[in-house]
Amino acid sequence: MSGRDRVALVTGAAGGLGRALVAALGDAGWVVVGATHSDGPYGADLSRADEARDLVARVIAGRGRLDLLVANHAAMTMAPVFEHPVDDWWRVVDTNLGGSFHLARAAAPHLREAAGAIVFISSEWGITGWPRASAYASSKAGLIGLTKALARELAPRVRVNALAPGIINTPQLGVDAQDAGLTLGEMKGRYEEATPLNRIASPEEIAATVVFLASQAGSFYTGQVLQPNGGATMAS
Amino acid sequence: MSQTGDSVAVVTGASSGIGRATAERLAGAGYRVAVNYARNERAAKAVAASVAGRAYAADVADARAVADMVDRIERELGPIGVAVSNAGFYEEVLIDDIDDDRWSRMLRVHLGGAFHLTRAVVPAMRSRGAGSIVLVASELALIGSPRASHYVAAKSALIGFGRSLARELAPQIRVNIVAPGPVDTPLLPDRDRAAAYTSTVPLRRIGHPPEIAEAILHIATATFTTGAVYSPNGGVVIQ
């Protein structure tokens, strides 16, 4: 299924999954706008409502339309909940959950016009929780609630779904390893052991599910949370 | 999508509805497709002809018949890479009227069908070190129904069966479940086609078999997905 010149906005485009998303959507025929946290034509601090609105406005100004929002950006820091600096805790939540909300609000009129779709990138940890990740897990669980509410509210014109991937081989895993005092290899080994498929994901196989959800092939999905996680979690 | 291409897929209950659409979609993705049917030989042969596959008769409730069918498929078409347990039927019967025979038939076809197919395909998949199994359940397994408790029990059991197999057969074989919402097939009650119902569906319509077939193809080939329950249901179930 091809995007056929339809316009997709992918946030967190410089990250491990983000790069794979940009490539996979491009291969499927989408015109992909990749937004990053740094400077550049599509740079934005998505924890700020005005910057999220401005990002969407720039996409419309530059590309004329918006058919797909993939909210993939994420901040992750880890600390025990009683030690996590409050400002940092909120920065994670405001970026991951707040940023996705601001983007969705700004994008909704355009997505309605285009009969488009939203895919929020949540996380397995948003379903299972994780020690020392209360900010990240809260933000990702919040995204699941946002997905379900928006799916109902924007139906039938706009489909809204989420992905809750398991552990992916991306630089973000380094944050986790550092927090646990392990090498990257040891960290990977630990997750591989806890996953029925005995491995962690490549970004490409996660991106394939986003392309599926976004395309015509996913046309009867809304309000759903798809979980490519190697079998690590079998509950929703 | 490493399993597409030079591989064989078997789809049970493929003479109509979701099974037929799945056979067509898998063929489009390059699989040689075995089109299973229980009774509707004419329709199954037409589907098989249209996908350049082959039709195979077997009542999925009959373990021996399924095992024999799988042997024939592997001999005639080649190694099975994807097995889709889709055969089923629907009836609305209230609890007082679900006698032992109705109960038993419902369980034997849906849960037994998946069990028999899985048992038949797994040894060869295991020895080849790869395989993908998809069980077709129903959104009703997630929310229940006031009219078909035996159907819902059978479909819910499929989810437990599939998740357990996903753990047991990992990492070589992936097992996933697709739980479709209301879809335009011969099984769908007329009530669910009426505007009084479809107006309550968030997407304001029932699904089309090709949409479910896409979901089955995706989950069958999604290399990091196992033990998952995906429900293309138009938003009927958001939980």
In Å, how far from its chain's centre is CA A58? 20
Report DSSP state, residue B174: E
Say if residue B47's pLDDT is above 60: yes
Q: For residue A235, what pLDDT is reported?
A: 85
Query: How does residue B83 score in pLDDT terms, banded at 50, 70 and 90?
Result: very high
CA-derived radius of gyration, chain A = 17
- A169 interfaces chain B, CB cutoff of 8 Å: no
- What does the alpha-carbon distance between residue A233 and residue A11 come to, in Å, rounded to a whole number? 26
B8-230: CATH architecture: 3-Layer(aba) Sandwich (3.40)
Enumerate the residues of chain A whose CB falls inside 8 A of the CB of residue B229.
Answer: 236
Say if residue B2's pLDDT is above 90: no
Check CB contact under 8 Å for A231 and B214.
Answer: no
Check CB contact under 8 Å for A217 and B214.
Answer: yes
Distance from CA of B98 to the nearest CA of A (A): 30
pTM for the structure as a whole: 0.92
Q: Which residues contact B2 (CB under 8 A, 6 or more apart)?
A: B130, B221, B223
**Nearest residue of A to residue B216 by CA position?**
A217
**Contact indicator for B54, B36 with CB cutoff of 8 Å:** no
Say how many C-beta atoms besides its own lie within 10 A of residue A205's C-beta.
20
Q: For residue A128, what pLDDT is reported?
A: 93
Closest CA to A28 of A68, A79, A76, A77: A68
Say whether B151 is catalytic: yes
* Nearest CB partner across the interface for B235, out of A151, A205, A227: A151
- What does the alpha-carbon distance between residue B86 and residue B92 come to, in Å, rounded to a whole number? 19
Q: For residue A4, what pLDDT is reported?
A: 60
pLDDT per residue of chain A (236 residues) written in tens, 0 to 9: 455 689 999 999 999 999 999 999 999 999 999 999 988 889 999 999 999 999 999 999 999 999 999 999 999 999 999 999 999 999 999 999 999 999 999 999 999 999 999 999 999 999 999 999 999 999 999 999 999 999 999 999 999 999 999 999 999 899 999 999 999 999 999 999 999 999 999 999 999 999 999 999 999 999 999 999 999 999 87
Q: For residue B4, what pLDDT is reported?
A: 45
Say how many C-beta atoms besides its own lie within 10 A of residue B110's C-beta.
30
Give per-residue pLDDT as tens, B122-160: 999 999 999 999 999 999 999 999 999 999 999 999 999
Mutation target vs A (from B22, B174, B225; most A CBs, 10 A cutoff): B225
- What does the alpha-carbon distance between residue B135 and residue A155 come to, in Å, rounded to a whole number? 28
* Nearest CB partner across the interface for B224, out of A152, A206, A223: A206
Distance from CA of A44 to the nearest CA of B (A): 31
Check CB contact under 8 Å for A196 and B170.
Answer: yes
| Average predicted confidence (pLDDT) for chain B | 95
Amino acid symbol at B156: S
Domains of chain A, earliest start first: 7-169+202-226 (3.40.50.720)
Taking only residues 43 to 102 of chain B, the set having a beta carbon closer than 8 angstroms to any beta carbon of chain A reads none
Report DSSP state, residue A95: I
- Runs of H (alpha helix) within B89-139: 100-128
- What does the alpha-carbon distance between residue A175 and residue B160 come to, in Å, rounded to a whole number? 35
Q: For residue A1, what pLDDT is reported?
A: 40
Q: For residue B57, what pLDDT is reported?
A: 98
- B191 interfaces chain A, CB cutoff of 8 Å: no
Distance from CA of B33 to the nearest CA of A (A): 20
* Nearest CB partner across the interface for B202, out of A156, A199, A205: A156
Q: For residue B5, what pLDDT is reported?
A: 44
Mutation target vs B (from A2, A199, A212, A220; most B CBs, 10 A cutoff): A220
Q: How far is CA B53 from CA A92, A100, B1, B59, B78, in A?
A: 53, 46, 21, 19, 12
Distance from CA of A231 to the nearest CA of B (A): 5
Question: Is A213 exposed, middle or buried (CB count within 10 Å of its CB: 0-12, 13-18, 19+)?
Answer: buried
Q: For residue A38, what pLDDT is reported?
A: 86
Distance from CA of B100 to the nearest CA of A (A): 32
Q: Which residues contact B198 (CB under 8 A, 6 or more apart)?
A: B192, B204, B205, B206
- What does the alpha-carbon distance between residue B7 and residue B82 come to, in Å, rounded to a whole number? 8
Query: How does residue B3 score in pLDDT terms, banded at 50, 70 and 90?
Result: very low
- Catalytic member of B31, B90, B151, B230: B151
Enumerate the residues of chain B whose CB falls inside 8 A of the CB of residue A206.
Answer: 224
Enumerate the residues of chain A whose CB falls inside 8 A of the CB of residue B234.
Answer: 220, 222
- B195 interfaces chain A, CB cutoff of 8 Å: no
- HSE value, Cβ hemisphere, 13 Å, CA-based, for A54: 11
Give per-residue pLDDT as tens, B168-223: 999 999 999 999 999 999 999 999 999 999 999 999 999 999 999 999 999 999 99
Q: Which residues contact A205 (CB under 8 A, 6 or more apart)?
A: A228, B222, B223, B224
Q: What would the DSSP string read from start to end of B25-91?
A: HHHHTT-EEEEEESS-HHHHHHHHHHTT-EEEE--TT-HHHHHHHHHHHHHHT--EEEEEE------
Say how many C-beta atoms besides its own lie within 10 A of residue B50's C-beta.
13
Beta strand A117-121 pairing with A225-226: unpaired
* Nearest CB partner across the interface for A212, out of B170, B218, B237: B218
